[in-house]
Structure 1
């Protein structure tokens, strides 16, 4: 948010609508100890998309989960990217 301080245009809430019911379901990786993106944001985003997207919980700290050395996260993301296979809802790694 600091980079937006002083932005010359007033924001609005119109761009916050992210419903994508007709889009393919996504895989969202949410890290429990992410200092930049709160964990709850992943669950909120999946709910807002309203298209059966799945949140993969990474119990760790840091801003990224993929390619950080966790075999569970990497395996689930690879399965999604390569084969379209999403983990079961509630899957946790870390």
Structure 2
């Protein structure tokens, strides 16, 4: 599993790199803000949502602190996705938020 910090992710976004972000937090948590452009798929729905996840681009997975996103990364990696866990999660995010 690959790892990246929230700050490194922000740099990739600013550089215009092509990838997708999946936020695996629960609905109540996402109501407090999500990374702009991120797709919300709660951890419990990852295995039934493969049809919503593009396998041709890298996927960056975020949660509150990095634990649930690590679990989602394992599931996605086992199913052929290129994934990176955002360590520190939204607790470390300093970029814009979408509500």
User: Which of 1 and 2 has greater Rg?
Assistant: 1
TM-score, with structure 1 as normaliser: 0.29
Which structure carries more relative contact order (alpha carbon 8 Å, separation 6+)?
A: 2
TM-score, with structure 2 as normaliser: 0.28
